[in-house]
């Protein structure tokens, strides 16, 4: 990871946070254990389905077509949602979205909001905004409930409490419940269930995200494994949906493809446990459901990606989290090191694009560019290409005329290009480098360096240059073979048989 130098301790930077995470052996073991399990289960589920590459291509085609025609499908979705009785609000940014939600909450004089897991609501920081106005917000997804008690943010898109031990969860629940619950999983789950049931019944408002909005019907589709979204959307009198503007699908036939891709990629399930399709508020003949349904559609930088050939495909994302599970950087440092709502490869692309500020400009460097994220992505988003493009744009910004500052990276790469462009120079440089590295190399590795190179060896051992250049070795071996053949020939001539 670029910029993770030895001794970086500032936890306001990705470098400092990464160091803190690398020093946390439990976090690393927990993240590796869970992501390994998710990867294995995904492999089993995709093999069981068969023709996975064709499913991926179908998913890519649906999402690309939808995003390319987002204005049309969004208009259709909104018209049908309104026709079904939903109130639709548009929000240009996080500020407007949280103001729209707060307005509804205040109009209903609500004091308790039950929430189901939603990354987009994390994006607009709705919990803190509501709490500032005296409204209690309770997360009802088990993982989100755990991290809410811990006053933390999710560290994985699908498994928010991936970094927590059972012991830590027991401590949080014991503190919340006022009695020692032990570490038995069933007892811990039973405690959470009883607490959350009280919330479902008492909440004035239920708030959810939206996995998909179906344009042909104006329906909101929610995927959960715990059924909490059904409770949150059915029991309170008012249901607020916060939805990223790109989450639209044209038809239910398209949803069928996503219903195969998403659970398999996310958790290795053949099918999601609960899929709720909500079309408008409760009708006269229905016995459950909210009397009001509000859908807040959030832009927050998404429309800026439309028409951008390099980045439009990032809007194809269906938030499955599969790219996190395979990313060597995420698997080492976990989600909090990224410092953004969306971690992992998708976060390293999405966050700088959506928020545009310098605060997250370093995130695209948090990648080895191995391409595993692309291979894992069910809708084939070329995240590795986007990471390179973001790095290129950052370099171009730095190099803008008027900046007198010398860009050290640019100078270094220009020097590299000059020295390595001609074979003669390349040989000379590598011969000199062999001499320079001699005092530092041990058993084929360089364990410590100095000056600007220190970042390379601060958290890893760099392979040393081989003692003998490949070309020299190859020539010597060729010569050895030639001599051996000549000797064989002479031996055959002098053989009396």
User: Which helix (H) or strand (E) is 297 found in, with range?
Assistant: strand 292-298
Cα separation, 236 vs 288, in Å, equals 10
Q: Cβ 448 to ligand SF4, closest distance in Å?
A: 36
- What does residue 481 show for φ and ψ, rounded to 5 degrees? -65, -40
Q: For the sheet with 445-446, list strands across it.
A: 441-442, 445-446, 462-463
Say how many Å lie between the first and final Cα of the chain, rounded.
66
Q: Write each residue from 262 to 291 as x if it is in contact with ligand SF4 (CB under 6 A), else as -, in one continuous string.
A: ---x--------------------------
Residues 139-158 that bind ligand SF4 (CB under 6 A): none
3-state DSSP call for residue 148? helix
Q: Cβ 158 to ligand SF4, closest distance in Å?
A: 9
Cα separation, 78 vs 218, in Å, equals 6
Closest to ligand SF4 by CB, 141 vs 292, is 141
Closest to ligand SF4 by CB, 153 vs 265, is 265
Q: Cβ 50 to ligand SF4, closest distance in Å?
A: 20
Stretch that binds ligand SF4, among 165-173, 282-290, 315-323, 472-480 (CB under 6 A): 315-323
Closest to ligand SF4 by CB, 144 vs 313, is 313
Q: Write each residue from 247 to 266 as x if it is in contact with ligand SF4 (CB under 6 A), else as -, in one continuous string.
A: ------------------x-
67 lies in the binding site for ligand SF4 (CB under 6 A):
no
Task: Identify the residue among 100, 235, 346, 353 touching ligand SF4 (CB under 6 A).
Answer: 346
160 lies in the binding site for ligand SF4 (CB under 6 A):
no
Q: Cβ 238 to ligand SF4, closest distance in Å?
A: 30
Q: Cβ 114 to ligand SF4, closest distance in Å?
A: 26
Q: Cβ 437 to ligand SF4, closest distance in Å?
A: 39
Q: Cβ 345 to ligand SF4, closest distance in Å?
A: 6
- What does residue 455 show for φ and ψ, rounded to 5 degrees? -60, -30
Residues 424-463 that bind ligand SF4 (CB under 6 A): none
323 lies in the binding site for ligand SF4 (CB under 6 A):
yes
Cα separation, 415 vs 421, in Å, equals 10
User: Which helix (H) or strand (E) is 170 found in, with range?
Assistant: helix 166-177
Q: Cβ 212 to ligand SF4, closest distance in Å?
A: 13
Cα separation, 325 vs 306, in Å, equals 28
Cα separation, 394 vs 361, in Å, equals 7
Cα separation, 343 vs 329, in Å, equals 10
Task: Identify the residue among 45, 245, 318, 348 touching ligand SF4 (CB under 6 A).
Answer: 318
Q: What is the dihedral of CA 472, 477, 478, 479, to 10 degrees?
A: 90
105 lies in the binding site for ligand SF4 (CB under 6 A):
no
Closest to ligand SF4 by CB, 309 vs 492, is 309
Contact 123, 341 (CB under 8 A): yes
317 lies in the binding site for ligand SF4 (CB under 6 A):
yes
The DSSP-derived string for 89-114 is: EEESSHHHHHHHHHHHHHHTT--EEE
Q: Token match 């979204």: residue?
A: 229
321 lies in the binding site for ligand SF4 (CB under 6 A):
yes
Q: Cβ 262 to ligand SF4, closest distance in Å?
A: 8
Find, among 283, 140, 157, 147, the residue nearest to 205 by Cα: 140
Cα separation, 157 vs 321, in Å, equals 6
319 lies in the binding site for ligand SF4 (CB under 6 A):
yes
Q: Cβ 406 to ligand SF4, closest distance in Å?
A: 36
Q: Cβ 153 to ligand SF4, closest distance in Å?
A: 17
Q: Cβ 15 to ligand SF4, closest distance in Å?
A: 24
Size of site (CB under 6 A) for ligand SF4: 15
Q: Which two tokens stand for residue 416?
A: 């590299």
Cα separation, 348 vs 366, in Å, equals 7
347 lies in the binding site for ligand SF4 (CB under 6 A):
no
Interacting residues of 107 by C-beta distance below 8 A, sequence separation 6+: none
236 lies in the binding site for ligand SF4 (CB under 6 A):
no
213 lies in the binding site for ligand SF4 (CB under 6 A):
no
Cα separation, 242 vs 116, in Å, equals 11
Q: Which two tokens stand for residue 399?
A: 């190099």
Closest to ligand SF4 by CB, 231 vs 376, is 376
Q: Which residues pair with 152 in a beta bridge?
A: none
Sign of CA dihedral 351, 353, 356, 359: positive
Stretch that binds ligand SF4, among 68-76, 165-173, 313-321, 473-481 (CB under 6 A): 313-321
322 lies in the binding site for ligand SF4 (CB under 6 A):
yes
Q: Cβ 92 to ligand SF4, closest distance in Å?
A: 23
3-state DSSP call for residue 101? helix
Q: What is the dihedral of CA 318, 354, 372, 52, to 10 degrees?
A: 20
3-state DSSP call for residue 113? strand
Q: Write each residue from 362 to 381 as x if it is in contact with ligand SF4 (CB under 6 A), else as -, in one continuous string.
A: --------------xxxx-x
Closest to ligand SF4 by CB, 100 vs 372, is 372
Residues that bind ligand SF4 (CB under 6 A): 265, 317-323, 346, 376-379, 381, 383
């Amino acid at each position: 990871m670029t910029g993770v130098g030895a001794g970086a301790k500032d936890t306001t930077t990705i470098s400092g946070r990464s160091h803190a995470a690398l020093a946390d052996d439990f976090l690393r073991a927990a993240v590796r254990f869970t992501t390994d399990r998710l990867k294995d289960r995904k492999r089993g589920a995709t093999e069981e389905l068969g023709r996975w590459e064709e499913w991926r291509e179908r998913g890519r085609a649906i999402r690309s077509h939808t995003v390319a025609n987002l204005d049309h499908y969004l208009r259709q979705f909104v018209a049908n949602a309104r026709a079904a009785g939903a109130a639709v609000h548009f929000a240009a940014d996080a500020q407007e979205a949280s103001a729209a939600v707060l307005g509804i909450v205040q109009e209903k004089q609500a004091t308790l909001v039950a929430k189901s897991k939603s990354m987009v609501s994390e994006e607009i920081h709705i919990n803190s905004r509501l709490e500032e106005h005296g409204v209690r917000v309770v997360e009802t997804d088990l993982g989100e409930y755990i991290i809410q008690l811990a006053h933390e943010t999710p560290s994985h898109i699908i498994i928010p409490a991936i970094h927590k031990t059972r012991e830590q969860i027991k401590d949080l629940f014991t503190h919340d419940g006022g009695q020692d619950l032990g570490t038995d999983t069933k007892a811990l789950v039973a405690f959470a269930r009883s607490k959350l049931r009280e919330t479902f019944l008492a909440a004035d408002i239920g708030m959810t995200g939206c996995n998909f909005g179906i344009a042909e019907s104006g329906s909101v589709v929610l995927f959960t494994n715990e059924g909490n979204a059904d409770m949150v959307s059915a029991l309170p009198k008012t249901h607020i949906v916060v939805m990223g503007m790109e989450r639209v699908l044209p038809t239910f036939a398209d949803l069928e493809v996503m219903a195969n891709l998403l659970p398999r990629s996310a958790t290795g399930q053949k099918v999601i446990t609960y899929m709720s399709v909500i079309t408008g508020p409760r009708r006269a003949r229905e016995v459950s459901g909210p009397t009001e349904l509000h859908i807040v559609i959030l832009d927050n930088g998404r429309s800026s990606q439309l028409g951008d050939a390099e980045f439009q495909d990032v809007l194809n994302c269906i938030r499955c989290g599969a790219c996190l599970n395979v990313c060597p950087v995420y698997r080492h440092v976990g989600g909090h090191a990224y410092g953004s709502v969306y971690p992992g490869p998708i976060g390293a692309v999405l966050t700088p694009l959506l928020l545009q500020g310098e605060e997250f400009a370093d995130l695209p460097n948090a990648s080895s560019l191995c391409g595993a994220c692309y291979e894992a992505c069910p809708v084939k988003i070329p995240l590795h290409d986007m990471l390179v493009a973001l790095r290129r744009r950052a370099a171009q910004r730095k190099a803008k005329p008027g900046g007198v500052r010398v860009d050290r990276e640019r100078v270094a790469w220009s020097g590299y290009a000059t020295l390595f462009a001609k074979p003669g120079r390349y040989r000379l440089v590598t011969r000199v480098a062999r001499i320079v590295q001699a005092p530092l190399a041990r058993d084929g590795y360089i364990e410590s360096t100095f000056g600007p190179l220190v970042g390379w060896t601060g958290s890893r051992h760099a392979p040393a240059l081989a003692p003998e250049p490949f070309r020299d070795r190859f020539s010597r071996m060729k010569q050895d073979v030639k001599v051996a053949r000549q000797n064989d020939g002479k031996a055959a001539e002098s053989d009396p048989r």
